[in-house]
Chain A
Amino acid sequence: MELICPAGTPAALHDAVGAGADAIYCGFNDETNARNFPGLNFNREEMRDSIAHAHRYGVKVLVAINTFARAGNVDLWRRAVDDAVECEADALIVADVGVMDYVARTHPQQRLHVSVQAAAANPDSIRFYVESFGAKRVVLPRVLSVPEIAAITREVDCETEVFIFGGLCVMEEGRCSLSSYATGKSPNMDGVCSPAGAIQYREENGALISRLGNFTINKFAKGEAAAYPTLCKGRYQTDEGCGYLFEDPASLDATTMLPELRKAKVSALKIEGRQRGRAYIERVVKTFRHALIALEEGRPIPADELNGLSEGQSTTVGAYKKTWR
């Protein structure tokens, strides 16, 4: 199984290469990618140099062009495609059908991956992307259990890639407008969820209050582990109860699921976190590289090594084990 690692900057990409990534995914510094954060991502020159660096070490680079092109300005996305091809990207990770169509027509030799943002959650939709655009791999949504992943992988004519660590969407990716409802900026259109520009933190008698746009998302008591004000991981109230109505602020950690994912014939394992720093990248990539070596050699895999790096300082195996089904 290939280990796919995030990089938000050239320095992070270098560290990921050093830490044992098989492939690294990254994006251009504009709204064509779904981590369009201030100070993050690659300009054209950095992309070319970084891909060349990775290739010298036999590491692949996958360029994420995975937002939905803005009407009237689709050329920005087409240019991103052309430039990534020119920079010798090993694959493009794309979500928008219009952009996929462009890749398939203009660069038929270019390897195309279906982004998780394309919400391909069953064999029928995956087949649609394979037949329409020649997609070679699909990144599966984080809403599937391991048996479902295994069944899909058996049934489709392309490789599957799954997330094993990092931020966790509980809503189906690419089909969530919670962020634009609260802030006017959406993952699909702007490449941001719960964007920094809409976040306010306030300390009140030792408690940390987080707000997004005009809405209070959470209050953390003194000493309680904090989290980003991501909408689906906020504390809310209803007539029937109060708390984390959608999901607790925890990160995905599928370390313990690695043997099952291998049995499911998954091709690639993905670490989330292009927006995280080098300290995170290096630590997480190394930990999973060691875990994969241990798996290979039939040794037990050490677990729970990465809690400190997680939101709310806790982790979950997410949908992989559907305790809630």
Chain B
Amino acid sequence: MPVALASRVLPLLPLQLLLGICLREIRSRHPRIFDRLGSHTGKRYGLDPTDLPLAFVLEPRRMNPRVTVVRTLPPGVDARIAGPLSALIGMTDGSYDGDALFFSRDIQIDGDMEAVVALRNAIDDSRVDFLAESVAWLGPLATPIERLLRGLVAPPSFRQEMGVGGGG
């Protein structure tokens, strides 16, 4: 996959900076996420795109939320969500149903299930769109780059396999 290739040669630092900007955007535009997370804002989530040679540690703290890019997930995260990048992103923007992805074994989850459920519900309600938020700071370039990224992470065949996302 092109994304995997790109990220293998990509140094982590620029990606880390990009995610930092993205997270700040989200914090200011979707404060309700933190209300819904409640006490789970103190948790550490490991997000593990299985088709990429890297992973993310998300700490959705209300005051200074943080996401760290790592080569492999460190031990001691409270919960881990693993699956193809397109599935992980599709869950956040409402195009995939997280439960269905779990039933079909496309994603794996382990650890603190309350934390996972709270995060899923908080993000589902917020309508946060990670791709759009990531490129928003690019100004006029945002739209074409977003389209490019969408093409990369969600090939249409994958969506049909999921049995969701299409369907009128």
Contacts and interface: CB of A to CB of B under 8 A. Distances in A.
Direct contact of A and B (CB under 8 A): yes
Interface of A: 8-12, 15, 37-40, 43, 195-197, 199-203, 208, 220, 223-228, 275-280, 282-283, 286-287, 290, 305, 307-313
Nearest to B82: A203
Interface in B60-106: 91, 94-100, 102-105
B110 A8 contact: no
Given A223-B105, A308-B163, A280 B99 contact: yes
B146 interface: no
B164 interface: yes
Interface stretch (B1-9, B120-128, B148-156): B120-128
B100 A308 contact: yes
Nearest to A195: B114
B162 interface: yes
Contacts of B103: 225-227, 310-313
26 contacts: A9-B121, A11-B126, A12-B124, A37-B117, A38-B114, A38-B121, A39-B117, A39-B119, A40-B117, A199-B113, A200-B110, A200-B113, A201-B109, A225-B103, A226-B103, A226-B105, A276-B97, A277-B94, A277-B120, A277-B121, A277-B124, A279-B96, A280-B97, A280-B100, A282-B94, A307-B163
B: interface residue count bin: 35 or more
Given A196-B114, A223-B105, A279-B164, A39 B36 contact: yes
B124 A278 contact: yes
Nearest to A251: B103
Contacts of B124: 8-9, 11-12, 277-278
Consensus secondary structure, chain A interface? mixed
Given A11-B124, A11-B126, A201-B109, A277 B114 contact: no
Contacts of A286: 167-168
A196 B105 CA distance: 18
B100 A305 contact: no
A203 B115 CA distance: 19
B129 to A, nearest CB: 12
B13 to A, nearest CB: 32
A3 to B, nearest CB: 15
A43 to B, nearest CB: 8
A225 B101 CA distance: 10
B94 A196 contact: no
Nearest to B105: A226
A278 B122 CA distance: 12
A279 B165 contact: yes
Given A225-B103, A277-B124, A308-B162, A202 B119 contact: no
A277 B98 contact: yes
Contact of B38 (A39, A202, A307): A39
Contact of B122 (A39, A226, A279): A39
